[in-house]
Structure 1
């Protein structure tokens, strides 16, 4: 879940931030934080951004230009503007504040020098943080769908039939090697380390697998093989040595 502007303002990096307008809009989600020092920043917005600025676009702006700047950000989908009133701009233009109040737009100021790099880093770490309830990616939904439609066995045979027809020992060896290769993105050295064999052994087994299964390079084919292996393991077709 994306953080709100109110959430970001609680981060230590935002200490000292003073909200001058738009207090009722602090619950809006923030999609990204940008540093912008141009007057037409609105044309680059995709929606939900918090803009950081030293106020350079406002230094020589007339009242009308300052108001237009603020309105363009609000209409462009920005969810807030934070100004550092230290270097380029020392005081807040009254027309800018009036426009922010009229648009109920969050206008934030820092009256001390701040590091925009720290602000963006802290904000983006929060924006990109996975939700607490997030689970690791799983093939379970696809496996359940195949099982519920009675297609599991046919799918497994279609993709692994040639290997499954082998005697138990070579079947388990090759399926175990295939699973390890898939799990390491076909890194032969890493697969050899995980299997406890020499790289030449993995290359030899890989040639056998290619001869029996065909193309192993297509990502879609690899996903299908991973699903088929999961089904084989669950059904016992791959022997216990795969686990």
Structure 2
């Protein structure tokens, strides 16, 4: 299984009513994740291939020049598109946004009525993370790694996911990275992780506590997926 294309995401029932206004020729490109974002500097948090969903709250308050800069920042960061709800803050797409999207061939999608963003992200993420066989998993992972590499966002993605651990001295860094990888491979089964690492369960619990303290919540499926990707990217990064 490869990552779903933007066309596939928009074909999901939750996206019924979505209208593509620009970037139609890029609908076959893969979507790595879907984020709800209302900030003007969203580009700082992107790794490439993301589809952003917005009500336009901050865009409505911005100047025309800032709106153009916002759209161009999404293009330059490798985002896959912008979904804009035309309900509360906008009744139509501002001309400068639409023209910039068309000039840059950037996918701009609109809903002309209120939609539940939770439904959009849930449906999209279930499609992106659909269960797959080991061979499918390799294909899916390769597609995601390629998308990050093509946009040059690999290093920033690694730093964003693993930064506090990578800042440690060599030995503790290596120990925690190996433990994190083992936990992910064992779906956070402590006993199995301990056996695979050849250590006691107490050691795994202690390291997991350290990892959680440095990296935050490790329970969410999308967070674990991001860590798998970051670890694989790290292996491919020259020392």
Whether these two folds match at TM > 0.5 is yes
Q: Which residue of 1 aligns with 2:15?
A: 14
Q: Which residue of 1 aligns with 2:197?
A: 220
Query: Quick one: distance in 1 between partners of 2:194 and 2:9?
Result: 44
Q: Which residue of 2 aligns with 1:103?
A: 104
Structure 1 runs of 4+ aligned residues shifted over 6 Å read none
Q: Which one has a bigger Cα radius of gyration? A: 1
Q: Which residue of 2 aligns with 1:233?
A: none
- 1:180-214 Cα distance to aligned partner (Å, 9 max, x none): xxxx9759xxxxxxxxxxxxxxxxxxxxxxxxxxx
Q: Give TM-score, length-normalised by structure 1.
A: 0.56
Query: Quick one: distance in 2 between partners of 1:9 and 1:18?
Result: 9
Q: Which residue of 1 aligns with 2:161?
A: none
Paired residues, number: 148
Stretches of structure 2 lacking an aligned partner (at least 5 in a row): 139-188, 200-239
Tell me which of the two structures has the higher relative contact order, counting C-alpha pairs closer than 8 angstroms and 6 or more residues apart: 2
Query: Quick one: distance in 2 between partners of 1:132 and 1:116?
Result: 30
Kept in 2, the 8 Å contact 1:58–1:89? The answer is: no
- 1:150-191 Cα distance to aligned partner (Å, 9 max, x none): xxxxxxxxxxxxxxxxxxxxxxxxxxxxxxxxxx9759xxxx
Structure 1 pair 217–42 and aligned structure 2 pair: CA distance change class (3 A): closer
After TM superposition, give the deviation of residue 78 of structure 1 in Å: 0.5
Q: Give TM-score, length-normalised by structure 2.
A: 0.57
Cα root mean square deviation, aligned: 2.5
For 1:176-187, list aligned pairs within 5 A: none
Q: Which residue of 2 aligns with 1:54?
A: 55
- 1:53-93 Cα distance to aligned partner (Å, 9 max, x none): 00112112222111111110010110000000001222211
Query: Quick one: distance in 1 between partners of 2:31 and 2:70?
Result: 20
Question: Would you say 1:87 and 2:88 are equivalent positions?
Answer: yes
Kept in 2, the 8 Å contact 1:48–1:79? The answer is: yes
Q: Which residue of 1 aligns with 2:125?
A: 124
For 1:133-212, list aligned pairs within 5 A: 134=135
